[in-house]
Amino acid sequence: MTDIAEFRSTAQRWLAAEPDADMRAELEALLSGSEADLIERFTGRLQFGTAGLRAAVGAGPQRMNRLVVQQAAAGLVDHLLAAVPGAAEAGVIVGYDARRKSDVFALDTARVCAAKGVRAMLFPHVVPTPVLAWNITEMGAAAGVMVTASHNPPADNGYKVYLGTGSQIVPPADTDIAACIDRVDPCAVELAPEDHPLIEMLGREQIDAYLAFVPTVRLCPNIPGVPVAYTAMHGVGGATLMEAFDVAGLPAPAVVAEQQEPNGAFPTVSFPNPEEPGAMDLLMAKAASVHAVVAIANDPDADRLGAAIPTPEGGWRRLGGDEIGWLLADHILRHTSGDDRLVVTTLVSSSLLGRMAVAHDIECLETFTGFKWIGHTVLQNPGKRFVFGYEQALGYLVTTQPLDKDGITAAVMMAEIAAVAVAEGVTMQDRLDAIVATYGRHIMAEKSVRMAPADGAAAVARLRAQPPTEVGGHAVTSVQWFDEAGLLRLQLGPAVRVQVRPSGTEPKVKLYGEGIGTDPAALLEALAALLG
């Protein structure tokens, strides 16, 4: 576009096509408001990539709304029909969370599928992401769509796409789907009627099938459960987790009542992410009041797991993502056997899992950031018996289905770890201390530097082109570049590594440090200064 008249013309066309009154009012306000706001909303569109789509709900191609979702659904279906034999008959499973407009985004996706002759299987109510993903392979679907913004701020919504393998999309499927989306006119997508015969409303059967699978993750099923506290963080995992504990033979956890029911406004947390400071405060208070052994949290779509444990001083502390990974890995590796076992982690997670694998004489593979790559790595190694995968951003897979992070089955296993600890006369902190005694104290640190996406990518590119010879007074002993992740790794002697990459979903550059017996936090400050 070359002038404001063209932006106004496009916005008027969107206004004519927009089905929702609130979005029409927003478009009218944009048309009568500042030219800068109108240009921002109508320059380009949301890019379909690492996490599908994710943005604030709002009008125009740079926000999440029904026209954007219909365009994405049409592009996805076009890709499936071209690339997946039998896609029309196999169909697409669609689920959604409790965020603003999730239900209509999901229904529109089903209507787009049906209009193109593709079977759509729609959950008629909110559902946790792991239940949706688990059922893709169980039902032999060609793909799955989950309408969720996961742990993003309350104003956001998103569109997560799964392949028929039950794992999230990886290249080249993401770029192929994006190209198909580009060819779709968002103002002219055909919708089938809501009662179209190709739209099948799923029932209780799919949830029951998932729950029937849950007990298989237990490795010590005869150990009695112990007191556990839990929060659903206003998300959609609460009811399913309570049933999962029951079918797994564990006592019901004490829940944070204020956060147990789905509520897309997230009234008690400004940022519904268990990683955020303060997000688990109500949970830890509940845990202390019921003398819990461990406190566990799901994020709003229940694919992540947060946890907290009592401290020797009588308080509670939130565990880091790697600490949770160490506890899960230690438990799994001690209670399984075989040299064909495989564990998988990501570039920015702790290297301690690799040390555990060496001690157990099994293979550990390291892959790119994003849990989709863990699923991809499992698929690329069919001769190995996958037993565990994790990323430090609270993503854990303790079983083989789905090939994506699952905060519900991971929660069941964390409760079992607590039960085994009590049965063996130790605390959760004792368990972590034993891991440190065996493998060394791995100290993790993270830092984010807010930068516009283009500036962040350019800063990392400059570091890659001219890597520093020292960081914070420590000599750089090796440099590695991981292209798929856009990540630069600097090794600072045998005990410290620092890493940097631009975020794929936020305007920031992310820095990661790991020191064995030394705190890398100061080195991340020094690395941040090099970004310019």
List, by residue number, the catalytic residues: 150
H-type alpha helices, 360-405: 371-379
Task: Find out whether 189 and 74 touch, Cβ atoms under 8 Å.
Answer: yes
Cite the beta strand spans of 368-414 per DSSP E: 385-391, 395-397
How far apart (Å, rounded) are the C-alpha atoms in residues 8 and 6? Answer: 5
Q: What is the 3-state secondary structure (H, E, C) of 63-80?
A: CECHHHHHHHHHHHHHHH
Beta bridge partners of residue 199, listed in sequence order: 120
Task: Find out whether 160 and 168 touch, Cβ atoms under 8 Å.
Answer: yes
How far apart (Å, rounded) are the C-alpha atoms in residues 55 and 158? Answer: 6
Taking alpha carbons only, the member of 250, 336, 531, 295 closest to residue 428 is 295
Task: Find out whether 61 and 42 touch, Cβ atoms under 8 Å.
Answer: yes
**Pair type for strands 305-310 and 294-298:** antiparallel
Nearest 5°: phi and psi at 239? Answer: -65, -40
Taking alpha carbons only, the member of 181, 186, 240 closest to residue 214 is 240
Question: Would you tell me the crossing angle of helices 407-423 and 428-439 to the nearest 10 degrees?
Answer: 90
Question: Would you tell me the crossing angle of helices 66-83 and 102-115 to the nearest 10 degrees?
Answer: 40
Cite the beta strand spans of 398-532 per DSSP E: 442-450, 470-471, 474-475, 478-482, 487-491, 496-502, 508-516
**Cα→Cα distances 451→32, 368, 502, 509, 510, Å:** 31, 22, 9, 6, 10
**Residue 249: helix, strand or coil by DSSP?**
coil
According to DSSP, residue 304 is labeled: B
Task: Find out whether 406 and 167 touch, Cβ atoms under 8 Å.
Answer: no
What are the tokens at 379? 């698929």
